[in-house]
Structure 1
């Protein structure tokens, strides 16, 4: 099979959608076997998981001649945040206030500034002006984790404030986020995956899709939809455009996911059990 998406991203998808629900541990052999379904070879899987370990997302445990991998606390927190946004059923409520984060990170710590920017975009912050980021969502907990993670408490100021500017809040949103571009991406997703959904629903009714095919289709669906976490700020309903397509995309995603997930889990569990994980869970948790 032709390789689809990069190996590291696919590993994140499998941890988020499957592994964390199965005692958060998997044998490297099972992970390699699962990634083969997407065209990734053993070498690329081992290189990607090693890189994720160095970055603090996963940790390894050696038992006998087998290596097992599980999410670190940092990895579990990120997966939980991502899951809540991917499988959300409604928009966040809004208290009418804005959270404002301002930083003055010195030039000799520029790498921290770059990392922080990436984290803020992922969390849904919008850039109001140079080094000044805002969000209508109560992300105090996430911000405090970022400050602790990068040890930047001396360089960051964080406020909870009201907007009393002369322009309305719609213009404020337009200045900070390119929602028209996000809407176009949602439109593309709907056009492509609504057709796939109809085709696969018909195949399922005729029993023409194998468990392995459902596993691949489900994982790629989640992987594709997960990209919206990096561009959709998850704004409250009051701040969204009238013709917002995010809700239609979310409905399509959930319908398609539910169509595939049962046979997909059957395939995953068949491969997962080959690692005899249940025998080593207690030792890994010590």
Structure 2
């Protein structure tokens, strides 16, 4: 587990519910539970700050770090998708994005593609991406952030042929591979969950480590699962079973994990 990736998990799972700001001493102690050194944590924090994910302020001789507005948006997006929710049904429309970003701004084009992938878009044709979810506002927000609004167009579209909707999905996403990843998650965590429960009540620091690692592992599905509506999923879709296992494991570990975090968390002084 890389410190920078774990920091996203810590902020998303705990810090964002505590006002979004935390003392660096608390962070180093929390990540120390995973065997990470203070030097490694500080280096990761510095890197995230340079990349625009974190902001900092000094109070006396102490440094407090919070997620930037960009970082908070990323955490909000992740929270919407990582925790199971009831879908409202698909209206049959697609959100489509087309762009023509100049070669001299290639780095922004590559970053924009990564953002679209993270949101769950699939590549239909060259520079044309689509999703059955209503993501137009989020795409506009990203385009504004990267200052590429003059090169991006967003549409709400209705597909009238010639493929069936599920055939379109098969062209754009490798659902078989995603299903295999869910199978791997279930094969690993189902027996592990049962073994942990057999141990009885776990100490709070163990709950914190186990729950954080669980969220950290499950968060990886944000980068591969496009969060398709039920109407477009195959009959055998293991994502639902994985969601159920995650929820049960999470709820069992949550109270102790939260108590441990609260014990190490130091509230930031009021601004």
TM-score bin, normalised by smaller chain: over 0.9
Q: Is the 8 A contact 1:214 1:260 kept in 2?
A: yes
Query: How far apart, CA to CA, are the structure 2 residues paired with 1:90 and 1:40?
Result: 37
Q: Is the 8 A contact 1:92 1:234 kept in 2?
A: no
Query: How far apart, CA to CA, are the structure 2 residues paired with 1:169 and 1:217?
Result: 39
1:212 alignment partner in structure 2: 205
What SS is found at the alignment partner of 2:249? helix
TM-aligned CA deviation for residue 92 of structure 1: 5.3
Q: Is the 8 A contact 1:98 1:161 kept in 2?
A: yes
2:164 alignment partner in structure 1: 168
Is there any run of 5+ residues in structure 2 with no aligned partner, and where? Answer: none
1:225 alignment partner in structure 2: 218
Q: Which moved more, 1:137-146 or 1:219-228?
A: 137-146
Could you list the per-position Cα deviations for residues 107-165 of structure 1 after superposition, in whole angstroms to 9, with x for gaps in the alignment?
10000011011100000000011111000100011111111011111111111111112
**What is the correspondence of 1:170-189 to structure 2 with a 5 Å cutoff?**
170-189=166-185
TM-aligned CA deviation for residue 80 of structure 1: 1.0
TM-score, normalised relative to structure 2:
0.98
1:142 maps onto 2:135 in alignment:
no
1:158 alignment partner in structure 2: 154
Is there any run of 5+ residues in structure 1 with no aligned partner, and where? Answer: none
Query: How far apart, CA to CA, are the structure 1 residues paired with 2:199 and 2:65?
Result: 35
1:23 alignment partner in structure 2: 19
Q: Is the 8 A contact 1:91 1:234 kept in 2?
A: no
1:74 maps onto 2:73 in alignment:
no
- Of the three residues 236, 239, 246, the one matched with 2:229 is 236
What SS is found at the alignment partner of 1:61? strand
1:248 maps onto 2:241 in alignment:
yes
1:201 maps onto 2:197 in alignment:
yes
**What is the correspondence of 1:7-156 to structure 2 with a 5 Å cutoff?**
7-91=3-87, 93-156=89-152
TM-score, normalised relative to structure 1:
0.93
Query: How far apart, CA to CA, are the structure 2 residues paired with 1:197 and 1:44?
Result: 30
Query: How far apart, CA to CA, are the structure 1 residues paired with 2:100 and 2:89?
Result: 30
Query: How far apart, CA to CA, are the structure 2 residues paired with 1:117 and 1:196?
Result: 36
1:262 maps onto 2:255 in alignment:
yes
Aligned length: 271
Could you list the per-position Cα deviations for residues 191-247 of structure 1 after superposition, in whole angstroms to 9, with x for gaps in the alignment?
11001111112223xx3x211111000000000000000000001110001100000
